[in-house]
Chain A
Amino acid sequence: MTAVAEAKIKKRVLPSPVTGQEFVLVGVLVLLWAALAVSTPAFLTAGSIQPLLVATAPVALVGVAMTIVIITGGIDVSVGGAIMVCSVLTAKALVGSEVSLGVAVLLSVAAGGLLGLVNGVLIAYGRVHAIIITFGTANLFMFLGLQIFGSGTVNGIPGTLAFFGRGPDGRTLGVPHAFLITLLITAAAWWYLRHTAGGRHFFAIGGDPQAARLAGVRVQRRVLLAYVLTGLLVGLASCFVIAQGTSTLDQSVGSGKELAVIAAVVIGGTSIMGGRGSVLGTLLGALLVQSVASGVTQLGWRSQLSDLFVGIFIIVAVGADLLRARARRNR
């Protein structure tokens, strides 16, 4: 093969790196931000954008792993409970033994990984649908979390995790660390899913697990990995959650996060049926949801109204996808 031919092939070895849905999401985000900038001049300031990015980070980060789980055809509704376990464990460690930042992160990530392992083993080897197992483990994790809470809240959390927080310690050149880390991990996951055999196998499993197995994919191991990965990222996201809050952690931590994460993933264009999806879309989806929440409060509307928009976004995003699929079938 000549060098010219090789170069020609190199140009288009893979389909477009960004999907149509992602372009649309970017467009919607730009429009939304423009509209908010016009209606509330305070929106496009660092003081407004920085908290927005910090608040996006945990959902987007867990969303990365959730995207992979959903690509394999599974789902994990226990991440809310897992966030509770990781964050209360870490918060207690910070208060009780004043561990350092590194140890705290390590502890949280390890705890999350362990919880993910429980899910992964039950789902990959128990041959039960993921939604049922994770409904069950969600309860178990919440029990565990509340047990660690003991009575009431965890108070007097030191600022060890301020590196991830809203304050000036949590930023470099004005960019919040939490968001930066999320961005890096999203990029790494995007590369992994796109360029490695292991990453591509997730898609194959979601498309047809039986055929994937016949083609030599180690399906059970891959599925296990997806849930362990979710646990690990839940651990890191829990550190962000603690850092975002005040010095107090209450028992509602993590509550409802599983649905928020799934919403971000779905808005990002990942198919709940498996086999198709993108972590980039999930990041954009999380950003969109948080932008609406932030915009709604800045406009002086009731903050809960943002959930209505989340619902509408889900319908529109998935509805558009359904219509596209139908058009493709009829073609």
Chain B
Amino acid sequence: MTAATVNAPAESTAAKLLRVLLTQRIALLAVLIVIVVVTFFINDAGGYLTAPYDFDYMSASLINAIPLAMLGLAELLVILSGRGGIDLSVGAIVSLAGMGFGFAYGEWGWPLWLAILATAGFGALLGAVNGFLVSYIGFPALIATLATFYAYKSLAIVINNQEPISTEPIQELFSLSKSVELPLFGQYVPDVPLGIFTFLLPTAVAVWLLLARTSYGRRLYAIGTNDVAGRWAGLPVRDTRFKAYVYAGLISGLVAVVTVGQFASARPDAGVSGNGMALPAITIAVLGGVAITGGIGRVSGVVLATLLIVWLNAGILLAFVGNEGSQYQLLALGAVLVFAALLNGLTNRKYGGSQ
């Protein structure tokens, strides 16, 4: 305390700027986004890209931000809850809940709103299994969600004999992922993917309200910061942690609906094929400044981290031909994550932590 106040006046503007960038993750991400976008605009102007990198393109690429940001928010909730909180099973929940949605809407002909509600509820139930194991039984989160990852993944594939569900109502859902013109001033700005408004924004706002405005959010930050102190302060520690996993499952259920819409099909491996959805989601959360030890992390960080990665990926796709693009996306993601992690380490040593 004394050292900080004494040093403050002597700190130069450059040193101050550096400190803000290192300690305020939001500021760092914003600067990185600007750098990325400007870089690609310049490349675009120079004619080095295979297609124009403009606002229309950036807007259209936001379709990829929907599942990524939503699952990043799900990870935000569980990682915040502390004690090594993490959820490896979100991708498997997307697969299994997606199949559930496929049956409800595509096969049994439930009304759309009911099917969506049921899918979200199903996801919450699957998350509750994680929460029960972690919070009430005392499993390390990594182990519990590794186990349910395998179990849900397996069930999703077995439940319909490895077949996707792509009946007519499901195929028509593709309209959910189209882009729309915004009302009032829409003609002046690019069209935006519909899912941003129907799924991502409501989720982001809901999670933000939950964390920043409700007493539940306070309790979650409290137990994530110090769950022993939480107990001595009379907080319902187990219940609070349990619910974080339930909410993560619920969000994963909503992502299942989005994914079914984007593929126009309920695919049994939707959330686990290739690299799966969990690892990128955790990456986004960590990049967004969520401390793996719990108690630190904000919605804005996760959203900005998603925008950074999505727009970086979109640009990379145009900078390389064919498969190369998707490969360089891996490089970018990995490099940014390692960079951010090392920066966290440095920040902790130099300034005693970041926000």
Contacts and interface: CB of A to CB of B under 8 A. Distances in A.
Q: Within 8 Å by CB, do A and B touch in the complex?
A: yes
Interface of A: 75, 77, 122, 126-129, 131-133, 135-143, 146-147, 151, 252, 255-256, 259, 262-263, 266, 272-273, 302, 304-308, 310-312, 314-315, 318-319, 322, 326
A316 to B, nearest CB: 9
B341 A136 contact: yes
Could you tell me the dominant secondary structure of chain B's interface residues?
A: helix
Interface residues of B, number: 50
A126 B322 CA distance: 35
A259 to B, nearest CB: 6
A255 B276 CA distance: 10
A132 B138 CA distance: 23
B158 A308 contact: yes
A311 B89 CA distance: 11
Contacts of B147: 310-312, 314-315, 318
Nearest to A127: B345
A302 B158 contact: yes
Closest 3 CB pairs of A and B: A139-B334, A311-B151, A307-B154
A305 B154 CA distance: 5
Contact of B342 (A75, A122, A146, A310): A122
A319 B282 contact: no
B337 A307 contact: no
Nearest to B283: A135
Interface in B327-355: 327-328, 330-331, 333-335, 337-338, 341-342, 344-345, 348-349
A266 to B, nearest CB: 6
Given A138-B279, A151-B322, A266-B146, A306 B292 contact: no
A139 B333 contact: yes
B24 to A, nearest CB: 19
Contacts of B162: 302, 304
Given A132-B286, A139-B333, A143-B334, A314 B146 contact: yes
Contact of B146 (A128, A135, A262, A304): A262
B323 to A, nearest CB: 6
Contacts of B155: 308
A315 B152 CA distance: 13
Contacts of B149: 259, 311
A310 B283 CA distance: 25
A310 B150 contact: yes
13 contacts: A77-B279, A122-B338, A128-B342, A136-B334, A137-B338, A140-B331, A143-B331, A259-B146, A302-B158, A302-B161, A306-B154, A311-B150, A319-B137
